Structure 1
Amino acid sequence: MKISVIVPVYNSEKYIKKCIESIINQSYRDIEIVFINDGSTDGSLNIIQKYKKLDNRIKVINQSNSGVSAARNNGIKNSIGDYITFVDSDDYIDSKMIDKCAESLKNTDLLISGFTYEFKDKNEDKTYESSFICNSKEFVQNYFMESFEKLLLYGPYNKLYKRTIINKYDIKFDEDYSICEDAMFVFDYLLKCEKISGITENFYYYVQHDQSLISKYNSNAFDATWKLYNKIIKFLNANNSEIKNINIVNYSYEHRFLGCMDSVYRKSNLTIREKYSILKIYTLEDRFQKLLIKCKEKSIKHWLIKFLLEKKKIYLFHLLCLLKYRNTK
Structure 2
Amino acid sequence: MPKVSVILPVYNVEAYLDEALYSLEKQTLKDIEIIAVNDGSTDNSLSILEKHALTDKRISIFSQTNQGQSTARNQALKHATGDYIYFMDSDDTLEYNALEMCYQYIESTKADFIFFDGDIILEEGAKGITWDYKRTFLTEEHHKYHGKELLDIMLDKGKHNCVVWLLLIRTEYLKRIALNFYPGIIHEDELFTVLLTIQSNNIFALAQSLVRHRIHNTSTMGKHYSRRNIKCYLTVVDELLKFEQSQIIKKFARYTLSKVFYTGHAIPFKEKFGVFWRAVKSDYLKYIGLKSTIVFWVK
TM-score (norm 2): 0.83
The answer to whether structure 1 residue 157 and structure 2 residue 165 are counterparts is yes
What is the root-mean-square deviation in Å for CA atoms of aligned residues? 3.0
Corresponding residue number in structure 2 for 1:114:
117
C-alpha displacement at 1:228, in angstroms? 2.9
Deviation of residue 258 (structure 1)? 2.7
State the number of aligned residues. 287
Q: 1:142 to 1:181 in 2, by over 3 A?
A: closer
Instruction: Quote the residue 1:27 is aligned against.
Output: 28
Cα 1:25/1:14, change in 2 over 3 Å: same
Kept in 2: contact 1:140–1:236 (CA 8 A): no
Letter in 1 for 2:259: H
Structure 2 Cα separation of the partners of residues 132 and 249 of structure 1: 30
Is it true that 1:182 corresponds to 2:182 in the alignment?
Answer: no
Match of 2:141 in 1: 131
The aligned residue for residue 229 of structure 2 is: 221
The CA deviation string for residues 292-314 of structure 1, in whole angstroms up to 9 with x for no partner, is 5xx5x7xxxx4xx64x58xxxxx
The equivalent residue for 2:274 is: 278
Aligned to 2:218: 211
The answer to whether the 8 A contact 1:9-1:89 is kept is yes
Unpaired runs of 5+ in structure 2?
none
Q: 1:144 to 1:93 in 2, by over 3 A?
A: farther
CA displacement, residues 169-212 of structure 1 (integer Å, 9 cap, x when unaligned): 321111131x2211211122223323101111010111011112
Specify whether residues 173 and 141 from structure 1 end up closer, same or farther in structure 2 by C-alpha distance, changes over 3 A only.
closer
C-alpha change, 1:3 and 1:290, in structure 2 (3 Å) is same
1:324 aligns to what? none
1:39 alignment counterpart: 40
Please, which of 245, 264, 267 is the counterpart of residue 264 of structure 1?
267
Alpha-carbon separation, structure 2, partners of 1:280 and 1:34: 40
Q: Which runs of 5+ in 1 are unaligned?
A: 266-271, 310-316, 322-329
Q: State the shift of 1:219 in Å.
A: 4.1
After superposition, the Cα gap between the structure-2 partners of 1:120 and 1:216, relative to the gap in structure 1 and judged at 3 Å, is closer
> How much identity, in percent, do the aligned residues show?
23
**Is contact 1:118-1:124 (8 Å) kept?**
no
Distance 1:113 1:132 in 2: 13
**Is residue 114–residue 203 contact of structure 2 (8 Å, CA) maintained in 1?**
yes
Q: Match of 1:169?
A: 177
Distance (Å, rounded) in 1 between the aligned partners of 2:14 and 2:44: 6
1:202 match? 209
Counterparts of residues 66-77 of structure 1 (less than 5 Å) = 66-77=67-78
Tell me the equivalent position of 1:268. Answer: none
CA apart distance, 1:51: 1.1
**CA shift in 2, pair 1:252/1:166, >3 Å:** closer
Deviation at 1:248, TM superposition (A): 7.5
| Higher-Rg member (1/2) | 1
Residue 59 of structure 2 corresponds to residue 58 of structure 1 = yes
Alpha-carbon distance change, 189 to 218 in structure 1, aligned in 2, over 3 angstroms: same
**Structure 1 residues 38 and 283 mapped into 2: Cα distance closer, same or farther (>3 Å)?**
closer
Q: Could you say which residue in structure 2 is the equivalent of 1:289?
A: 285
What residue number does 1:326 align with?
none
Counterpart of 1:96 in structure 2 is 97
Q: Which amino acid aligns with 2:165?
A: Y
Aligned-pair distance for 1:114? 0.7
In structure 1, what is the Cα distance between the partners aligned to 2:198 and 2:149? 15
Q: Report the CA distance between 1:88 and its aligned residue.
A: 0.8
Partners of 2:225 and 2:173 in 1: CA distance? 34
Question: Which of 253, 257, 260 is equivalent to 1:253?
Answer: 257
SS class of match (2:209): strand
Output the CA distance in 1 between the equivalents of 2:20 and 2:244: 35
